Structure 1
């Protein structure tokens, strides 16, 4: 066991006026299974890169371990997989590699296939195996769940549960809960570490947020009451002071000494109340700083003129002579929230493309009403660039509504002015979702919409779908999201 000490860390990207981190300090035990969470754009990957020594910063990071980052960069993907592993770790011990591949249920014959012929899930498992055969390293594992189907996610999560000595960035609640024992969170104003998995951290955060809201409301009422008391007491003191130069109703002279003493006493009381008011204001200012903005999202889906929107009847889809899915039958009716489930390569995206009117070769019967309007969110974000205003105009959506949704998904006003190509992966996916929520359609179709999106935003989207119950067909490997949202699961 050793410690990674972070002291007074301050960092901003070159040319930026905004600090990603500012005077943050904490310790990490290298034996921990550390889950790393925080909203998109808060600096999770930036912090991993700071540990790797990629950027200059002020403050101090001290560690007596080396760091290894996942995913590794693969220079030549046409090489055989065993050559890729050898490039990453030339001195690896073969039996250790075989052990890790066996734990990840990867057959050893893939070592002699070209790396680019492997599925995304197989590539992830191979690179994880290479990561864990390195000794005396603290591992930085950045979003390994992207492109893993639900079965593979469970397998990889169980695998990581048997390991220790890593930071894991993931936005999948079930995945994190299964394999971490501490949680590192980047909040709005600080970084903190707590013992326990994500759900334990979230429960503590909700408890703290609720306490601060109640305390904030109590102090607000106190400040209002004290403000009124201070004003009344000050007025009384002023009125009493004015009587020093007058006479009593009986005509006798007033006792100026007594009145002056009384006025001073009232003034002292007024100052005391003002001091208590300032103290309450100071206490109030310390609250609510880390409460996340997660305002409710809205969706206004168009009603369709009939209940049945589309139907697949014993549909099989082909690419050339290769069949990607066989004998698929289901209907899409108004109000349904359908999750397409199945391993990678089972044809989920192909079914979506067919429903979205792409010209695919298929057998069986497929029916879709010609008047049906569909909003589609793709897996791919590489086509996104330019400013958000032009993007809204080019896609025929209301700019103010579009940007309002992004603000609710934790975009700052400054972020709204940046080029989309500079956004993080999660922020780009939010652009696609905000566009989809801004469109006037009868059916939403989302293909892995939550890749790279932070957990709090996932919860917002989940609550939206439960509250408004739109008609939606989606592919998503986040187990908890699917279980909470779907009214029907089509397992391929």
Structure 2
């Protein structure tokens, strides 16, 4: 066991006025299975790069271990997988590698296939197995679930639970809960380290937020009371001061000294109330800084003239003469939120593209309602570029609503002026989802919409779908999200 000590860590990207880290201090144990969470753009990947020594920073990071980052590019993907591993880990026992592959339920023959022929999920598992062969290394595992189906996620999560000594960036709640024992959370104005699962951390955070909201409400009432009292006292003081030159009811002169003393006492009381009011306001300013915005979102949903929107009868999808799925039957009616499930390569994305009218080789019957308006969110974000204003205009959507949704999904206003191509993966997916929510549509078709999107935004989107009940056909491997949202399941 050793410690990773972070002291007065300060870092900002060139040209940015707001530092990502400002004199941050915390320590981590190298035996921990550490989950790493926080909103998109808060600095999770940046912190991993700081640990790797890729960025210059102020402050100090000390550790007695070396760091390895996952995922990393493979220089010669046409080589056999075993050769790729040999270059990555020069000194290991072959039986150790077989043991790791067995834990991941992978056949030994994958080692003798070209690395590039492995599926994305197989590549993920092989590289994780290789990295855990190294001694005295602390792994920085950055979103490994994005290319894993539900079964693969469970396997990798169980595998990581059997290990120790890593930081895991993931936005999948069930995945995190199964394999971590500590949480590192980057919040708006602090960095929090706690023992336990993600769910434990989230419960603690909600209690903390509720306490702050309660304190904020009490202070607001106290500030109003003190403000009203200060105003009344000032008015009385001024009224008494004005009476110094007047007379009593009996016609005798007023005692100006007495009246002045009385006015001064009232003014002093007013100033004391003002100071207490300012003190309460200062206390209030300390609150709510780490409460995450979770405002409700809106959605443009059209009503179709028929209940049934899509129908598939004995549908098969074929590639290179081989059926990737066959005998598929389902119906999509208004109000359905249908989740398509199945292993990687079972035709889930192809089926979504087919419903959207894209050319996909198939047999059988697929009926899509005439003049059905579909809003499609693809997995791919590489085409996104330009500013948000131009993007909104190109799609013919309301720019104000589009940007308001992004604000509610934790976009800083400063992001609005940047080129979309410079956004993080999660921010790009939020652009696609916000655009879809702005499009008037009968049916929303979303292909793995939550890849790279932070946990809190996932919860917001989940609540939106439950509240507005749009008709939705989607593929998503986040088990908690699918469990909460789907009203029916289409299994391939």
> How would you bin the TM-score normalised by the shorter chain?
over 0.9
- Deviation digits for residues 393-412 of structure 1 (CA, Å, limit 9, x no counterpart): 22222222222211111111
Q: Within the alignment, does 1:148 sit opposite 2:151 as a pair?
A: no
Partner of 2:39: 39
Equivalents in 2 of 1:369, 1:231: separation in Å?
Answer: 66
- Deviation digits for residues 71-124 of structure 1 (CA, Å, limit 9, x no counterpart): 122111111111111121112222221111111111111000011111111100
Map of 1:414-429 to 2, 5 A cutoff? 414-429=414-429
Q: What secondary structure is seen at the aligned counterpart in 2 of 1:350?
A: helix
Residue 132 of structure 1, CA deviation: 0.8
Partner of 2:120: 120
Residue 246 of structure 1, CA deviation: 4.2
Equivalents in 2 of 1:282, 1:427: separation in Å?
Answer: 34
Residue 253 of structure 1, CA deviation: 4.4
- Deviation digits for residues 139-196 of structure 1 (CA, Å, limit 9, x no counterpart): 1110011110011111111111111111110000001111111111111112111121
Residue 235 of structure 1, CA deviation: 2.5
Partner of 2:287: 287
Partner of 2:68: 68
Partner of 1:402: 402
Q: Within the alignment, does 1:340 sit opposite 2:324 as a pair?
A: no
The TM-score normalised by the length of structure 2 is 0.97
Residue 257 of structure 1, CA deviation: 4.4
Partner of 2:472: 472
| Count of aligned pairs between the two proteins | 492
Q: Could you tell which deviates more after superposition, 90-99 or 144-153? A: 90-99
Equivalents in 1 of 2:468, 2:253: separation in Å?
Answer: 77
Residue 258 of structure 1, CA deviation: 3.8
Q: Within the alignment, does 1:223 sit opposite 2:223 as a pair?
A: yes
| 1:313/1:237 CA distance change after superposition, 3 Å | same
Partner of 1:190: 190
- Deviation digits for residues 265-323 of structure 1 (CA, Å, limit 9, x no counterpart): 32332222112111101100001111112211111211111111111111111112121
Partner of 1:412: 412
Partner of 2:378: 378
Partner of 2:300: 300
Residue 328 of structure 1, CA deviation: 0.6
Q: What secondary structure is seen at the aligned counterpart in 2 of 1:414?
A: helix
Q: Within the alignment, does 1:4 sit opposite 2:7 as a pair?
A: no
Q: What RMSD over aligned residues (CA atoms) do the two structures have, in Å?
A: 1.4
Map of 1:22-171 to 2, 5 A cutoff? 22-171=22-171
Equivalents in 1 of 2:263, 2:440: separation in Å?
Answer: 68
Equivalents in 2 of 1:178, 1:464: separation in Å?
Answer: 26
Partner of 1:440: 440
Partner of 1:486: 486
Q: Could you tell which deviates more after superposition, 186-195 or 443-452? A: 186-195
Partner of 2:312: 312
Partner of 1:366: 366
Residue 333 of structure 1, CA deviation: 1.0
Q: Within the alignment, does 1:249 sit opposite 2:279 as a pair?
A: no
Residue 53 of structure 1, CA deviation: 0.3
Equivalents in 1 of 2:87, 2:74: separation in Å?
Answer: 9
Partner of 1:456: 456
- Deviation digits for residues 429-477 of structure 1 (CA, Å, limit 9, x no counterpart): 1111111111122111111010000011111111111111111100000
The TM-score normalised by the length of structure 1 is 0.97
Residue 58 of structure 1, CA deviation: 0.7
Equivalents in 1 of 2:346, 2:108: separation in Å?
Answer: 23
Q: What secondary structure is seen at the aligned counterpart in 1 of 2:148?
A: coil
Equivalents in 1 of 2:220, 2:339: separation in Å?
Answer: 46
Unaligned runs of 5+ in 1: none
Q: Could you tell which deviates more after superposition, 353-362 or 468-477? A: 353-362
Unaligned runs of 5+ in 2: none
Q: Within the alignment, does 1:328 sit opposite 2:344 as a pair?
A: no
Equivalents in 1 of 2:398, 2:225: separation in Å?
Answer: 44
Equivalents in 2 of 1:246, 1:326: separation in Å?
Answer: 100
Equivalents in 1 of 2:82, 2:262: separation in Å?
Answer: 92
Residue 238 of structure 1, CA deviation: 3.1
